[in-house]
Amino acid sequence: MQSFQNRTVHRTVLNNGMVVLLVENPAADIIASRIFVRAGSRCEPRHQAGLAHLLAAVLTKGTSRLSSLEIAEQVESVGASLGADATPDYFLLSLKTVSSDFAQMLDLAGQLLRAPTFPEAEVELEQCLTLQGIRSQQEQPFAIAFEQLRQAMYPDHPYAFSSLGTEATVSQLTCDDLHHYHQTYFRPDNVVISLAGRIAPEYALELISEVFGDWQAPATPLPALVLPVPNPKPQQIVTPLQTQQSIVMLGYLAPSVRCAETTEAPENSSEPLNFPTTKAVSADYAALKLLNTYLGNGLSSRLFVELREKRGLAYEVSALYPTRLDTSQFAVYMGTAPDNTATALAGLRTEVERLCNVVLSDEELQAAKNKLLGQYALGKQTNAQLAQVFGWYETLGLGIEFDSSFTAAISAVTAPVAQQAACRYFSEPFISLVGPAAAVTQVPVVALS
């Protein structure tokens, strides 16, 4: 049991290895639960990209005891919400209900996790819907630009693809593939259950033990997942597309949230093999999170003010630096008029490289800290947010204490430290351009330093 920002987080590990987290919050008669499986698309073979997403789409479509219609009726009859999702680094089953119905919904979640049937008709339907989604992405300039940027940056890594997968891979997936993935990764010692709401810790553990206590982990260990550390040569990729604007993206390989790149557990470790074992956080993670906020977070960000407000170059402009278990990416992007494509590219690169050449002022640094920490605090107000945040930390191996260590790390970043991080990662960009042929094909290949 640990306390963070006036919230007590109860942590328990069941005999079968399942981790249970609980934040008791009696303010509202609602319980939110997030059930994480340490899997996601990073555990997919390359030729099965989209497998985790498809599994999420059909997980709620049938169990050994319930049909898809019966599952939907159970959820809707009590006004609850229940859904599944797959991200690059984990699989997630989410539910929210009033306190009096939580036991019923938890039992349903247990059936879905432990005994899904993946009806063939439902799988075929979701495959068709996923293929439609992929084709829709292929018509969206931003999606195309981001896809080709990822594939250039992660040539041999699962992060290269959208979570939907590709037409070629999704069309070949079978019910047997779903069952194999489920049997491999859906096991109690690979699951984190995070709860927040009006429920006593003792009662919550009693309910969870009733639903999951007899679920035993197989004797076989989780498969070792050793993924390559991306190290491709930066390049400029161009896709002509008849559209009203050009999309300009710069990408830089950036550190994961964890220090260790390897995900292989040492001999005799009790940790799953596809899961990092050290809680050490990358030294540059906090600095880059802060620079991401400074550059591209909101209407007061550097990119918005300089490139949109002052120069009128951007329809939209922003930056992103996702938290990842493996090597992440720091990206800046802009939507601009086709005639401004080359100017926009130069402007984006100038603003990123400025971080290496100019030390942030005390005022700029503090404003970025205030914005980042304020948004971080506001992201932990509801039961659903609390269940998500603490479960996510546990699933990534950061520990619930990361809630405090992250804010301390952000507060400790100095302007020289931020500049040093920028110089380490922002020297050679991957460049992705999508737009009218006359605009994007005429942009000279930028000389990479």
Q: What is the pLDDT of residue 280?
A: 62
Q: Does residue 263 have a pLDDT over 90?
A: no
Q: Does residue 107 have a pLDDT over 60?
A: yes
Residues of the chain with CATH 3.30.830.10: 2-212, 236-440
158-197 pLDDT tens trace: 999 999 999 999 999 999 999 999 999 999 999 999 999 9
User: In DSSP terms, which residues pair with 422 in a beta bridge?
Assistant: none
Return left, alpha or beta for 18; rule: phi > 0 is left, psi -120 to 50 is alpha, else beta: beta
Of the pLDDT bands very low, low, confident and very high (cuts 50, 70, 90), residue 85 is very high
27-43 pLDDT tens trace: 889 999 999 999 999 99
Q: From CA 76, how far away is CA 57, in angstroms rounded? A: 18
| Architecture of the 236-440 domain | 2-Layer Sandwich (3.30)
Domain topology for 2-212: Cytochrome Bc1 Complex; Chain A, domain 1 (3.30.830)
Q: Averaged over 196-220, what is the pLDDT?
A: 95
Q: Does residue 302 have a pLDDT over 70?
A: yes
Q: What is the pLDDT of residue 261?
A: 43
Q: Does residue 271 have a pLDDT over 60?
A: no
Of the pLDDT bands very low, low, confident and very high (cuts 50, 70, 90), residue 269 is very low
User: In DSSP terms, which residues pair with 4 in a beta bridge?
Assistant: 7
Q: Would you call 43 exposed, middle or buried from its count of C-beta atoms within 10 A (0-12, 13-18, 19+)?
A: buried
Tell how many helices (H) and how many strands (E) occur in the chain: 16, 12
Residue with tokens 């922003």: 318
Return left, alpha or beta for 217; rule: phi > 0 is left, psi -120 to 50 is alpha, else beta: beta
> What's the whole-number average pLDDT of the chain?
92
**Residues near 28 by beta carbon (within 8 Å), at least 6 away in sequence:** 197, 198, 383
Neighbours of 223 (CB within 10 A): 12
Token representation of residue 379: 């992201």
Report if pTM > 0.85: yes
Of the candidates 37, 79, 23, the one whose C-alpha atom is nearest the C-alpha of residue 395 is 37
Q: From CA 126, how far away is CA 122, in angstroms rounded? A: 6
**At residue 283, what is the residue type?**
A
DSSP 90: -
Q: Does residue 371 have a pLDDT over 80?
A: yes
Q: Does residue 446 have a pLDDT over 70?
A: no
